[in-house]
Every structure is written in structure tokens, then in C-alpha cells.
Amino acid sequence: MNIVAFGTSTSQNSINQKLATYVAGELGDHQVRILDLNDYEMPIYSIDRQQNGFPEQAQAFLDEIKAADGIVVSLAEHNLNFSTAFKNVLDWVSRIDMQFLAGKKMLVLSTSPGGFGGGNVMEIGLKYFGFAKGEVVAHYSLPSFQDNFQEGVIVNEDIQAIVAEKIDVFLNSLVNTEASVA
């Protein structure tokens, strides 16, 4: 299986990138490519800019998504919504292909320093990913990141078990899809 994983913040210390990277490391023998949203920086979307064509970065991000069987995304919450950088990527990519997530199995995560774990952006993400025809097979908002994730791992055993279960659901959905295609 070919899987892409990424956090949706451009911060060098993104807790969502750390969570996505941790989960990527738990995916076993599958081919996993960790994306960095900083590699897809482009002008702010507008219909006027679109008339001049699409940025290379938008097509490059779309190509990564299209090549993947599964997607692990950890949503950063900025003012109860997507980060501006991620929203901009979505705006450009969706103009190239509105249903760019069609046929993609998704594990959607979020985390934040607070107890709600990015739950607001999770609600928005679940709705948006369905609109783009992605199939969210599992999702989880990890609360209180600094308390529950240290030195690259989830330290709270209960949360670690929940995340492991979500990973299993995600991987099983990929295996079941591959088996039905074969």
C-alpha cells in the first residue's frame, strides 16, 4: 500500500506534523511518504490568479494524493478552522479536481494543547473530506498534546490504545479494498 501522511500546519514545531509522523511510523511494512505542507506554499487562491494557471505546487500535491491508496492527515486548528496554508492548498487542488479524494481511504486526526484536541477543525475536516469524495474510515482528536505525547510517542496508554485501534481500522480498510480489487 502507498500511504501519504502529513500535518496541516507550516510550523517547524507542528504538533500535528509530529502526530502524523508518529502514526506513519506505526503503519508497518506499507510504503509511507511523509509530506511537509511547507513544500506546497503558493499564492493565495483567487479566481483571477487561477486564470493565469495553476501553481506547480498545487499539481504536485494533487499528484501525491492521487498516487496514494490511503491518507493520514492530522488537522491543525487555527481559530476553530483549517490553517490558512492548508485551506489554500485545498482551494487550489479542488479547482483542478473537485473530487480529488475519490477512492481514498483516510485516517483523520487532530490534536491541540487543549482538552478538545482540535475537535472543531475535525468537524470541518470530516465534512470537507466527504465533499471531496474521500472515505474517512477512522478519526480521532488527541487531547492535551503536551501531556499525552512526549519524545515522539503517545505516553498515555489509554490514548495509545485508541490510536492503535484507529490505525488498525484504517489498515484493514486498505487491505479489504486491495483484496476486493484483486
CA atoms of 112 and 86, how far apart (whole Å): 16
Mean local confidence (pLDDT), 75-104: 97
pLDDT exceeds 80 at position 156: yes
Which grid coordinates are listed for 115? Answer: 482538552
Query: 88-120 burial, b if ≥16 CB within 10 A, otherwise e?
Result: bbbebbbeeeeebbeebbbbbbbbbeeeebbbb
pLDDT confidence band for 182 (50 / 70 / 90):
low
Task: Convert the pLDDT of each residue in 104-152 to its tens digit.
Answer: 999 999 999 999 999 999 999 999 999 999 999 999 999 999 999 999 9
Give CATH for domain 2-181.
3.40.50.360
CA atoms of 19 and 127, how far apart (whole Å): 21
Task: Convert the pLDDT of each residue in 6-16 to its tens digit.
Answer: 999 999 999 99
pLDDT exceeds 80 at position 175: yes
pLDDT at 177: 73
